[in-house]
Amino acid sequence: MELGLIRSLMDKAFYDDHRGAKCPDRLFSKDVRKIKETIDIAILKYERSITPDEVEALFMSSNPTLTTAQKNGYAGLFKQIKKEETMGSDIAQEVLSKLFQQVIGEDIANIGFDYVNGTKNSLEPLRNILEQYGDDFTPNLNIEWEDISIETLLAKNDMEARWKFNIPILGRKVEGVNAGHLIEIGARPNTGKTSFHASMIAGVGGFARQGAKCVILCNEEAAHRVGARYLTTASGMTVHQVKNNMIKARDLYSPVSDNIKIKDATSRDMSWVESVCKTFRPDILVLDMGDKFAKMGGFARADEALKANAIHARQIAKEYSCAVFYMSQLSAEAEGKIILNQSMMEGSRTGKAAEADLMLLISKNPMKGETDDEDLQRHLNVVKNKLTGWHGIVSCELNYEVGRYEE
């Protein structure tokens, strides 16, 4: 089949009707693919139909390092091609359908193999394949172009910051987040990562108070401890104050508690996270810690597994229309530093960072002495920002007694 198609592609009219995605190189076997590349170059250069003899001459002259055995092999292929007739459009369509059927089948089989081995955890790759082809296996080339009218572009960009950050100095630079965004938050241990997402969600003017349904899946700190952090953040009261005045605490906590769901996710993976999103449909999803949802099996290196995990998190953000906050540790390289960068992400210097729409790394002032009280100033390093484009550092205070980030 493929040799008949190659012979037909030498006719310029046929070639013009079947170029590009309609007849991609991957339909052909390795040796035949090289011959097709020669046809592509020749028709582009000479802008006319070409004969099999011409293609053979061009191919041989362009590949002077072929061994005698290789030359004989290609000579045999050209001999077979010369015996073929140019196909009619109806026959060509049927041949193309058969060839596409073979490569699609191989792609689906490979994905199935990955599912069996646990190296793929989402149906998205399979959906992508099915969306690309019609029922006759040929490419689906019906493209629905994006609406780029002024009104639509302005409306969509306004929606980019549906959920506003409640730290004013940060909000002025980054504004906020929306469905489909992956936000990676990194910090060294005991810097205030959990307090950060608690403050963003349950603090004054936080996402939950804006009406966002928020799900926090925690696999590092116990769920009841994270819950207590959210209680103090929402109420602005310490645990001691809550115990002494539960009526007041309940009144302050109740306006946000219905919009906050916390679940222990120890030993869970991203497939489980996806099932949670499918059932609950949150607006904001917090993975604390994101890396601990990764499956390490099937990967040669840990950074490959973490990159795949971040890709899955991004797919969840898009598929289930939520903003995903992916909490991460920073490597020891970040210890004692105020100015941080992407390469300090623990376990994956570039893989995870590539998936983020917004990357925010939290630092604190280095301790001056072992007996000094901890400096409560926190520095929010915006090191990647596809939302507004701004990069830099904003500083604020961590009120550790109630877990609020304050300007």
On average, the pLDDT of the chain sits at 88
CATH of domain 161-406: 3.40.50.300
| C-alpha span between 261 and 229 (Å, rounded) | 13
Q: Answer whether residue 220 shows pLDDT above 70.
A: yes
| C-alpha span between 30 and 21 (Å, rounded) | 18
Which tokens go with 258? 């219905």
Residue 222 · residue 229 · CB < 8 Å: no
Rg (CA), the chain: 29
Q: Answer whether residue 292 shows pLDDT above 70.
A: yes
Instruction: Identify the band that residue 322 occupies on the pLDDT scale cut at 50, 70 and 90.
Output: very high
| C-alpha span between 33 and 74 (Å, rounded) | 12
The predicted structure's pLDDT at residue 139: 67
Min mean pLDDT across 183-187, 224-228, 320-324, 349-353 is at 349-353
Bigger pLDDT: 371 vs 39: 39
The predicted structure's pLDDT at residue 209: 95
Domains 2-132 and 161-406 share a fold: no
Residue 381 · residue 340 · CB < 8 Å: yes
Instruction: Identify the band that residue 140 occupies on the pLDDT scale cut at 50, 70 and 90.
Output: low
Sorted by where each begins, the domain ranges of the chain are 2-132, 161-406
Q: Answer whether residue 371 shows pLDDT above 60.
A: no
Bigger pLDDT: 53 vs 105: 53
What residues contact 100, with CB distance under 8 A and at least 6 apart?
Answer: 27, 133, 137, 138, 139
| C-alpha span between 194 and 359 (Å, rounded) | 16
The predicted structure's pLDDT at residue 141: 59
**What is the bridge-based pairing of β-strands 392-399 and 377-385?**
antiparallel
Exposed, middle or buried, 253 (CB in 10 Å: 0-12/13-18/19+)? Answer: buried
Q: Answer whether residue 308 shows pLDDT above 70.
A: yes
Q: Answer whether residue 358 shows pLDDT above 90.
A: yes
Instruction: Identify the band that residue 157 occupies on the pLDDT scale cut at 50, 70 and 90.
Output: low
The candidate with the shortest Cα–Cα distance to 331, out of 218, 189, 221, is 189
Class of domain 2-132: mainly alpha
| C-alpha span between 270 and 320 (Å, rounded) | 13
